Structure 1
Amino acid sequence: MKFSRLGGVGALILVLSACASAPPPSQTQRAAPSASASSSPTASAATTPVSDGGEVMTSDNVKLVANMPREAPLDGGMNWNSDLAFQGDYAFVGNFGGFTVYDISDPTKPKTVSKVACASQQNDVSVHGNLLFLSVDEVRTDETCASKAAGMGGSEGGTPWEGIRIFDITDKAAPKYVSSVATECGSHTHTMVPGKDPDTLYIYVSSPGPEPDSATCPAPHQLIQIVEVPVKNPKAAKIVGSPDIFPNGQGADSFMSGCHDITAYPEKNLAAAACFGDGVLLDITDRVKPKVLQQVEDKENFQIWHSATFNNDATKVIFGDELGGGGMATCDTKTPATKGANAIYDIVGGKLERRAYYKMPREQTDKENCVAHNGSLIPVKGKDIMVQAWYQGGVSIWDFTDSNAPKEIGFFERGPERGDAMIAGSWSAYYYNGYIYSSDILRGLDVIEINDPLTDPAKSVRMTDFNVQTQKTF
């Protein structure tokens, strides 16, 4: 998701401009619920939904086992839940007001460990050892958690700032702010890439821009930025590179420059960048000087290349399109099945070749913002299975082992959010140590269980940490 830096009502300006720039619908329209809208029919398990408490709908192989509502001071106004990270028995949930640490040693009974108030958009979170990183994509009056939103020109005084905040999480019950790194156009999302030296961590910063009259995001902007973090001395973190990953220019129809999200696969020395108008495959053997292997476009179907996911053996990449920036109802018969969807690319001879599209197949109302958003692999060797958030479309579990015929095997969703909420639903849905964790924008943290022959082998896989933008072989 991407908003302007004005906050409040103005936060939807960029979403609406994204809607205005969306490509016209093609002749292929999204099918009604009784027919398939994806590249293959919905699995039988997902065609017979059952009700849970009159509010949750699931396939018969999925159930909600726990929900942790947002808590004060992170539960009001635009204090929306955002991204997730995991470490041991802990889940870290980003929130526009800060972040929350949960004890998930018993996934069916999560416990709040601490809540940190540190406001900004979006506060996407990752963890590495005793360090936690937050992405700040909003001009603040300074880098501290006591800062205020400053507006693009820094009109509230202070020294306009946005970028990466760093915390010490040695004591999960009392995280401590350590330092920060200012980055051009802030940090919408970020990706951790371990260095060859274990004492050095690199962070690839994705920061869409430019913004007219901005104090921190001037034109031109076609950059990713690389921050080097000495893990034993995080206060010395600094920018060490701003590589140009668009040697042939960025997508001509893009309404912004830069990237939305980058997924790295350090073991394979690969990264996939989802950018405004393009998908880029990178060689990251040299962490500070990534090399472009290929740049692809899909002008007919993709508007905002939002995120990327490799399969386990790095022979495929899933790119998602966040049509409308997350503020539109695109899971309906008015929107083609190839828009606001996922594109499946095989990597053949080091090059990306598009195979098929996948879109959550259930019809949603015109009141429900719904589009492809954050997801992760479910760790089943020999299979390519993913769980993915779709905002008010809920959570979809789907199999893309056959790149040409992806199919849904399970789902979880709520009905339309009550009231006038334009933005709601699942922001991120990730599989971690036997359960799906969904960060619901308004409803808090959901813990979901899937029991299915295809996914059951994943229950025996144990991870010691998980940051979805930094993939590891399972």
Structure 2
Amino acid sequence: MNRKFVLSLSLATALSVGSIGSFVLAHDELGSDIIEKGTGPGYEAIESTIEGSQSFNWKEVAAVQIKEKDGKQNNTADVYVHKGFAYTGTHTKSGGEGGVRVWDVKNPSNPKEVALFADDIPGTWQEKVIVKRVNTEHFQGDLAVVSVQQLNRKAEGSVGGFLLYDVTNPYQPKKLGFWELDKRVTGTHELYLTEQGGKPYVLTANPYADYYTHGEQKDFQIVDVSNPASPQTIYQFDPRQLPEVPENFDGYNWTDSNGKQRAVFNHSTMADVNGKTAYLSFWDLGTIVLDLENPENPTYLGRTTFSATQQGSAHSAALAKGGNVLIETREVYNPTKPGYEHSYGYTRIFDIKDKTNPKLLSEFKTELVDDVQYGVTFANTVHDPKVHGNTLYLSHYGGGVRSVDITDPSNPVELGKYIPEKSNIWGVDVAGNYVYASDMGTGLKVLKLTNGEQ
């Protein structure tokens, strides 16, 4: 089978566009070489290490900056597409509070920003938004859940958690409720909206909650949002139930079997299509797999592991092959950490037919991963994954957007890429024949497969 034919079968697959904005992430703020998203100096300087724009097999059909709000230009965070509308979160530039932007993308070559919501909690930023159709006794319609994080945990009036909105009419979002975390916790970073047995649940990643609250609240919580006006926490995960984690674990510091000090916190979470299995990106503990058959009492199944010289940094996850393959992206922002391989973060692919024993099938690296720029963080690391059919889509910050053929998960093959001149791609999503990418500096990008034609 020739390559062009593979491309045409795999939907849309590679890209080239971009720009840069201020860069502030949400990670390990407690370690000596890690800074939490939303805090710390130096992020404005991060941009692609590639000179000029590059692409193959993708073409940019639209590029639109988000509108200024109150005379300030925020920067863009993640992107999610639902029923002809794209939802982009916002990051911390110009003081945060940029809310979620709604785009009418029924004509993908002409996106129109039509609404703004979730900007009502002072001193916060709104990174992640997930939208799904919900039908319960209390609410019927399209429900949006939005992560909320504080820029400064000591600031008066700010608080983290997640917001719930009715976006059945995307032009007029209506606030339904707010799930609030302890003030000591920065907030909910990445989150996921799933459904099981007719009930909608939000799976939350609240980095350092366990550490900051001395175990009173946990990094992973399950929240029943059947009544969006009154979300109810039904479960919190304690990593101390893992045999590798001691009972005196302080919520953050963990010594692995090689005697290395590791960082443990929940960065992201997602579930399979049936809401029966959850995947927690627990940084140096790897991707933790939980059985959610009983959401009020999940069962630990297994986790991914790392070699002694690999930084863990399990950042986000996606599923492929009917849930039998796990994609794990690793966001390594310090590629020269002593005692570890000198490399930016790259993608790992696992066979998880036996979820108690994930088996590594392959590792996918771009040409940038081993091009270590000393003193430069984030530029070449992978970020978030999405899967559509047999194609894996990766947002790669300075590396733009990459599309990868995973028909054979043990042999991933790059199909295309899209890198703007000053690329800073945060998120990526797929709808129909189009790929939607959020560039921190310049807003929403829409890409289409070219089959090699420029």
The SS at the match of 1:267 is: coil
Out of 168, 171, 175, the residue aligned to residue 170 of structure 1 is: 168
The 1:92–1:13 alpha-carbon spacing in structure 2 relative to 1, beyond 3 Å, is: closer
The SS at the match of 1:242 is: strand
- Aligned runs of 1:61-460 on 2, under 5 Å? 61-73=57-69, 76=72, 79-96=74-91, 97-116=98-117, 118=119, 120-129=124-133, 130-138=142-150, 151-153=152-154, 155-156=155-156, 158=157, 161-184=159-182, 185=185, 186-197=187-198, 200-210=199-209, 217-220=212-215, 222-230=218-226, 233-248=227-242, 249=245, 251-252=254-255, 256-267=263-274, 269-278=276-285, 279-298=287-306, 299-324=308-333, 336=342, 339-350=344-355, 351-362=357-368, 366=373, 369-379=379-389, 384-415=390-421, 417=422, 425-452=424-451
> Residue type matched to 2:132 in 1?
H
The SS at the match of 2:323 is: coil
In the aligned structure 1, how far is the partner of 2:214 from the partner of 2:71? 35
Shift of 1:365: 8.2
In the aligned structure 2, how far is the partner of 1:106 from the partner of 1:11? 32
- Answering whether residue 64 of structure 2 is matched by residue 58 of structure 1, we say no
Shift of 1:19: 7.3
Q: CA RMSD in A?
A: 3.2
Question: RCO higher in 1 or 2 (8 Å CA, sep ≥ 6)?
Answer: 2
Question: What is the TM-score when the length of structure 2 is the normalising length?
Answer: 0.74
The SS at the match of 1:82 is: strand
The 1:222–1:169 alpha-carbon spacing in structure 2 relative to 1, beyond 3 Å, is: closer
Question: What is the TM-score when the length of structure 1 is the normalising length?
Answer: 0.71
Q: Deviations over 1:110-161 (max 9, x none)?
A: 11211236162343101123321111121xxxxxxxxxx5x323x42x4x52
In the aligned structure 2, how far is the partner of 1:13 from the partner of 1:192? 20
Structure 1: which 5+ residue stretches go unaligned? 1-8, 23-50, 139-148, 418-423, 454-474
In the aligned structure 1, how far is the partner of 2:234 from the partner of 2:347? 33
In the aligned structure 1, how far is the partner of 2:329 from the partner of 2:103? 28
The SS at the match of 1:294 is: strand
> Residue type matched to 1:237 in 2?
P
> Residue type matched to 1:114 in 2?
A
- Aligned runs of 1:8-47 on 2, under 5 Å? 20=33
In the aligned structure 2, how far is the partner of 1:297 from the partner of 1:261? 17
Shift of 1:391: 0.5
Structure 2: which 5+ residue stretches go unaligned? 1-21, 36-49, 92-97, 134-141
Contact 2:194 2:275 in 1 (8 A): no
Shift of 1:429: 1.4
Contact 2:26 2:189 in 1 (8 A): no
In the aligned structure 2, how far is the partner of 1:269 from the partner of 1:124? 22
The 1:99–1:349 alpha-carbon spacing in structure 2 relative to 1, beyond 3 Å, is: closer
Shift of 1:329: 7.3
The 1:444–1:280 alpha-carbon spacing in structure 2 relative to 1, beyond 3 Å, is: same
Contact 1:193 1:287 in 2 (8 A): no
Q: Deviations over 1:31-64 (max 9, x none)?
A: xxxxxxxxxxxxxxxxxxxx9xx953211x1111
> Residue type matched to 1:235 in 2?
A
The SS at the match of 2:297 is: coil
Shift of 1:14: 5.9
In the aligned structure 1, how far is the partner of 2:315 from the partner of 2:67? 29
In the aligned structure 1, how far is the partner of 2:82 from the partner of 2:218? 33
The SS at the match of 1:191 is: strand
In the aligned structure 2, how far is the partner of 1:191 from the partner of 1:348? 22
> Residue type matched to 1:277 in 2?
D
> Residue type matched to 1:56 in 2?
S
What does residue 458 of structure 1 align with? none
Q: How many residues align?
A: 374
Contact 2:326 2:352 in 1 (8 A): yes
